[in-house]
Structure 1
């Protein structure tokens, strides 16, 4: 009988890969099935060895797996932290390149005056910048800034060196004797002169009094006399003196000072008072005009606005020809106030500004009209600045600053 040549395949999986165990007996290399050939009938018989059963149904345990997981987690966290840090640094670098934060200047004093060369209203602001010197060290750098209140332009911003740092930080009090003679006192020991032409402020304590031997022991205290055009001085030995800036004259007693005041100065000023008997039950605020002639020693007074009722009146500026006052709109002390210009000849109101709630400080004449320094309270977030008003009461400019400016 002829034999057909056929590929011998595993009867279980069909693989032709096998190993001959003995003649006509084979073992499948794929599934380990043993089979043999029956040549007469060409039958294929197979025998499959069963796979040994393990003692546990769970898969084999890798003892290194927890360590690998921990290492992977730490690596992931490190990479994530590095990516976030790099992103933040780039963002901060980008922000710093565009915005430089600077601590707001600390303000100590302010004053509005007229530049006697240009006639413009200038706003003097004295303050200190915080300068970081590194290594945890810093210092205050004193500045005097001059701003044109009519347009908000900064004219000068000077750094003040030396002994100015202490005396300027005390907060200055100012007094105007003439438009071109304005003095200021700091720490009650230093006298400053405001240069109204060149926009400067300088300490003149030593230079002004060096020619007066009476003050050779040094200055212990300086104060303005706000009723008279003089400065009260006490030397280091406790002696009192009286200095008249416009006369450049120094006297050593109060009677001498009163004599100079009455014989050397003509006076024309306005005040709120009462010309009647102070025992009157119905006394009220009167706006009084005072004139004093030194040549005759005679004082004349008149009520400028007869019959007018005032609530909380104050005089904020006068020069003999111009008079600015403020009054509360009602009898309440917390009511808004109005600024009024009073005609010094007739007593009539030339103009009135709209009521507002603010505190008024220095006021000056200027070529535009008047410059008035103001500050507002918490309800307006402490806004402040200078109002520039024309002679007819028109608002020319409101130089306005925010709380931190």
Structure 2
């Protein structure tokens, strides 16, 4: 029987566009229907496979989409061109000024303090002088010059600026101030010591006189710096690798162990010099043994030394078990503000509560002499409460004046009495304080 040639059509949509998957099996590329031919060439079996048929976009829709794409591309081009011309317009209207420092038409900014320590001393005419010693950086901070600046503590005016010998250094040098028991202020830096003189401002080098007739220092001094502030010690590291303590007023040298023993009347120097009797003032410390005990202001008499090693008294309520060791609260003990052993070490002859019944919060003794005791304290136990500076009569404890301190100013830790009253301050900021307790505005010395 003769066969006729016929095109294979999709039984669902009639399309003749198909893809052969395997012998006699096809997939319609128009609607996605899979179908196959049986062996007698008569029946066509169809298997519908779920899926997304090819999308045929009508010509009208295609033209609409092309028009939208061209419109959006045109808007982007117009926005870019507009932005470019606007930026050029702004640049054209801006005049670039050369750096005045680079052209030499202006001075570079002043050097700034990197480290600084301060002391208050009396200058010419008995007027207060703030001495600031430290290191200043150059304008570009590539070198540091050790320097001492003398300011009028009442106005902040610079009286004299004295650079220390040796010139600027690539690293920040250490510059320290040390006030001795007799009021002398020394400046220590590198391996030298200078005496601070404010009338007139000067810094004579006193290293040779300090080291004279000291066999222990014969090898030479590598570094000379301030001790631990408990007494007048200067720490010296010698060229032969020894750490020694020099006491300028006593003009003696000790090892650390020798200084410890000498301060407590032990060892080879058990007999300490019998100096004059003086009066000191100190606040007691918070007690862990008796936490409910209030902070007290103590006046005490002590035997001054010759400027050698000395121990300051520490007043704190504690349980005295009569010696050192491991004890419990069940062991016999006595409640004491200071032990007899500590009294002997600090050479305290007597002491008393100077302001019985008064309550103090975070107090500090700023200054005292034969007439005044100047102190600071907070109004309450809150660190956000008002702060005060107060003057007491050094003989009777009567309040001479009380002045509130500004909340945004530094809490003073320096004080000096002069003919016009007091100057108090901290770091490079000072306040004047009249004899009536009138506090002047803060003066910050640059």
Residue 151 of structure 2: aligned partner: 147
Of 368, 388, 403, which aligns to 2:420?
Answer: 368
Residue 128 of structure 1: aligned partner: 136
Distance 1:84 1:97 in 2: 26
RMSD (Å) for aligned C-alpha atoms: 4.1
What displacement does 1:400 show? 3.2
Contact 2:119-2:177 at 8 Å conserved across structures = no
Distance 1:388 1:260 in 2: 44
What displacement does 1:218 show? 3.2
Distance 1:391 1:236 in 2: 51
Change (3 A) 1:83 1:391: same
Distance 2:241 2:370 in 1: 37
Contact 2:282-2:365 at 8 Å conserved across structures = yes
Contact 1:171-1:186 at 8 Å conserved across structures = yes
* Local SS of the residue matching 1:308: coil
* Local SS of the residue matching 2:376: strand
Of 388, 395, 399, which aligns to 2:439?
Answer: 395
Distance 1:360 1:140 in 2: 28
Judge which range, 120-129 or 216-225, deviates more.
216-225
What displacement does 1:372 show? 1.5
* Local SS of the residue matching 2:196: strand
* Local SS of the residue matching 1:306: coil
Contact 1:270-1:290 at 8 Å conserved across structures = yes
Change (3 A) 1:93 1:328: closer
Residue 214 of structure 1: aligned partner: 216
Distance 2:252 2:100 in 1: 63
Of 332, 355, 359, which aligns to 1:309?
Answer: 359
Distance 2:236 2:415 in 1: 26
Change (3 A) 1:106 1:226: closer
Change (3 A) 1:293 1:95: closer
Residue 20 of structure 1: aligned partner: none
Residue 351 of structure 1: aligned partner: 401
Distance 1:298 1:96 in 2: 67
What displacement does 1:269 show? 0.9
Distance 1:369 1:260 in 2: 41
Q: Deviations over 1:315-373 (max 9, x none)?
A: 12223443211111110134342111121111122111114332323322323222222
* Local SS of the residue matching 1:208: helix
Change (3 A) 1:274 1:300: farther
Q: Within 5 A, what are the aligned runs for 1:216-235?
A: 216-219=218-221, 222-224=225-227, 226-231=229-234, 233=236, 235=238
Residue 51 of structure 1: aligned partner: none
Residue 270 of structure 1: aligned partner: 281
Judge which range, 289-298 or 190-199, deviates more.
289-298
Q: Does 1:246 align with 2:254?
A: no
Residue 318 of structure 2: aligned partner: none
Distance 1:99 1:270 in 2: 53
Change (3 A) 1:362 1:239: same
Distance 1:343 1:168 in 2: 44
Name structure 1 gaps, 5 residues minimum: 1-75, 376-383
Of 288, 299, 308, which aligns to 1:289?
Answer: 299
Change (3 A) 1:80 1:116: closer
Residue 313 of structure 2: aligned partner: none
Larger Rg over CA atoms: 1
Distance 2:292 2:101 in 1: 71
Distance 1:307 1:103 in 2: 52
Name structure 2 gaps, 5 residues minimum: 1-84, 306-343
* TM-score normalised by L of structure 1: 0.62
Contact 1:241-1:251 at 8 Å conserved across structures = yes
Of 377, 383, 405, which aligns to 1:333?
Answer: 383
Distance 2:143 2:108 in 1: 17
Distance 1:81 1:345 in 2: 76
Contact 2:113-2:137 at 8 Å conserved across structures = yes
Change (3 A) 1:233 1:162: closer
Judge which range, 277-286 or 110-119, deviates more.
277-286
What displacement does 1:111 show? 1.5
What displacement does 1:308 show? 0.7
Number of residue pairs matched by the alignment? 309
* Local SS of the residue matching 1:118: helix
Distance 2:405 2:114 in 1: 27
Of 377, 386, 395, which aligns to 2:430?
Answer: 386
* Local SS of the residue matching 2:96: helix
